[in-house]
Amino acid sequence: MEETLREGPQTVTRRGEPAVVVVAIETGERLSGARPSLKDYLQESGVDELDLSRANEERLPVELP
């Protein structure tokens, strides 16, 4: 484990054949696609400084094909 943290991923063998790779938790989370929820992401990004209120102006008609 210490070697993994110092040097990166380590291959573990079973009967002389590669079986698994040990990686640091940060690497594993990145590779597995673990991401914060949208709510957490927006709270951490400073989005509360944006004005997301809707204008009360009349909307223009839009023609859809």
Domain residue limits, the chain: 2-46
Distances (CA, A) of 18 to 14, 21, 22: 6, 8, 11
| pLDDT score, position 11 | 95
Distances (CA, A) of 53 to 12, 17, 22, 49: 54, 59, 47, 12
Q: Which H or E element spans position 12?
A: strand 10-14
Query: Residue 21 is encoded by which pair of tokens?
Result: 């790779």
| pLDDT score, position 52 | 67
CATH architecture label of 2-46: 3-Layer(aba) Sandwich (3.40)
Tens digit of pLDDT for each residue in 3-61?
A: 999 999 999 999 999 999 999 998 888 888 877 788 788 777 776 676 767 777 788 88
| pTM of the predicted protein model | 0.47
| pLDDT score, position 48 | 65
* Cα gap 65→58, rounded to integer Å: 22
